[in-house]
Structure 1
Amino acid sequence: MTFLAIDIGNTRLKWTLYDAPRVGATLLAHGAQFLENIDKLAENEWQSLPAPSLMLGCNVAGEAVRYRIEEQLELWDIQPTWVYSSTEEAGLTNGYDHPTRLGSDRWVAMVGAYRRMLRAVAEGAPARPVVLVMVGTAVTVEAIDPQGRFLGGFILPGHGMMLRALESGTAGLRVPTGEVVPFPTNTSDGLTSGGTYAIAGAVYRMTEHLRATCQCEPLLYMTGGAGWKMLPHMSGQFELVESLIFDGLLEIAQQRFGLAGS
């Protein structure tokens, strides 16, 4: 029973095909495409894939993009199913004031992060709070307590968005190709370092908030397409888990479709 998982972000669509909708499933194929090029997936990347039996996805790019993907999914006889944020999923409780307004990618990634912590508990580790950082077009910094309650999260511009805002609002500045250094001595390094440390500072503050609230050391996870760029500049021992949204989709699929994990 093959399973297609789809993550539609603000810039790219990423997909993975597994041999089953369960945690620990074998990865059969995967790919990514910029949103402007998704209308030929059925003709190109997906044409030679084995037909999936089930599909589950998350989408933050809007209804028009979802319709375009559902047209591509007509290649197979499957019912498109999408994750929407809710009050509870896979043991995670949503503390947002309006739970359905939380971005589905954030929700799915938090499911993946929380269940990852629980698997460590099953192997003898203590339950711990979780800080989850997603680094993409935007950056989100989420806080989850050891009991699985999402306490809240920061949202801030991604690095590229910060730099473009400075370029458009400041005469003479151009998006730089600088380095991250402790003491920048040129404009390019100053802009690159400033954006990087702005994100790192927000993450540090959330980590401090969660440590004080839960009175124990949080687990630190990072994901997203630009996570590898941020990782060297973070305070604390972050684990980079590039597949976290897909891990969350597998967790949700396993519970919704009723298959046992491995």
Structure 2
Amino acid sequence: MSAPAHALLAIDIGNTRLKWTLYDRAAPGARPLAGGAEFLDHIERLGEGEWAGLPVRPAAMIGCVVAGDHVRRRAEEQIDEAFDLPASWVVSSTEEAGLVNGYDHPTRLGADRWVAMIGARHRMLAAQRVAGAGPRPMVVVMVGTAVTVEAVDAEGRFLGGLILPGHGIMLRALESGTAGLHVPTGEVREFPTNTSDALTSGGTYAIAGAVERMVQHLRRRCGAEPVCYMTGGAGWKMAPAMATPFELVESLIMDGLLVIAEQRAVRLA
């Protein structure tokens, strides 16, 4: 591996998988050089596996983790073994990268939620500059193992958010708590006429309803139409059910990590 001065390894450790991308520099719009994902049970494969074959060696690393300290330590061991780099993890704070944290206890906000909002705000501001318009309020949705629905006003203040179970958790809860109910995969229908479709449609519309209610709350609070961003591995499932217009972004978390990395350049160098 060569050693360019600015290559950055960005890592997002969720509840199920570790996702990573190697970028050519630590800045928004950076070019991805490589990337992948590994289930948490197999993190130890990374150092001698995909990371051993990277085209360049990262000069710095930044990431966010919600899976717990034991998973974070296992990832750090792989980072140290493969690259001999210190790990830099984002922790929610009172303010960063133009976002103000309105949580009652700011450090208790999930780092993935915080980073995704920072990525979304950077995206919104860039789009508004191109349009010659001012900032807009945002609803930021992550659809994964759990679903989060965040409200951010036009000035960049996080007002609060919702947490609800993702599709899989909803279906497993129904299966375990309802006698004789099994959960095969169904389709999203307006008027489901079988149990499989009823279960899939119910979970999907529950998430859609939470998003639409938050859009209503934010519209009323700010007196302006919010922009809605959606991300996460299961975000595509929501498209048929959404009445609220939204933009599906592959990874707001990686976008947010790039924004933070640029602003923390001195500490990451």
Give the TM-score taking structure 1 as reference length: 0.97
Q: In the TM superposition, what are the counterparts of 1:185-204 in structure 2 within 5 Å?
A: 185-204=193-212
Q: Give per-residue Cα distances to partners, 1:200-229, cap 9 Å, x unaligned.
A: 111110000000001111001000000011
Matched, 1:217 2:222: no
Matched, 1:126 2:134: yes
**SS of corresponding position for 1:47:** helix
Name the count of aligned residue pairs: 259
Q: In the TM superposition, what are the counterparts of 1:92-241 in structure 2 within 5 Å?
A: 92-123=99-130, 124-241=132-249
Q: Which runs of 4+ in 1 moved over 3 A?
A: none
Q: Give per-residue Cα distances to partners, 1:206-257, cap 9 Å, x unaligned.
A: 0000000011110010000000111221112110001210000000000001
CA–CA separation in structure 2 for the residues paired with 1:222 and 1:84: 22
**SS of corresponding position for 1:46:** helix
Q: Give per-residue Cα distances to partners, 1:58-77, cap 9 Å, x unaligned.
A: 00000000000011012112
Post-superposition offset of 1:55: 0.2
CA–CA separation in structure 2 for the residues paired with 1:201 and 1:237: 13
RMSD across aligned positions (CA) = 1.1
Q: Give per-residue Cα distances to partners, 1:45-101, cap 9 Å, x unaligned.
A: 000112110000000000000000011012112111000000001010000000000
**SS of corresponding position for 1:153:** strand
**SS of corresponding position for 1:167:** helix
Post-superposition offset of 1:117: 1.2
Post-superposition offset of 1:186: 1.2
Which residue in the other structure is 1:55 paired with? 61
Return the letter of the residue paired with 1:58. Answer: C
Post-superposition offset of 1:258: 5.0
CA contact (8 A) 2:188 2:240 kept: no
Matched, 1:9 2:14: yes
The gaps in structure 2 that reach 5 residues or longer are: 1-5
CA–CA separation in structure 1 for the residues paired with 2:174 and 2:159: 32
The gaps in structure 1 that reach 5 residues or longer are: none
Which residue in the other structure is 2:3 paired with? none
Post-superposition offset of 1:126: 2.7
Give the TM-score taking structure 2 as reference length: 0.94
CA–CA separation in structure 2 for the residues paired with 1:157 and 1:107: 19
Which residue in the other structure is 1:27 paired with? 32
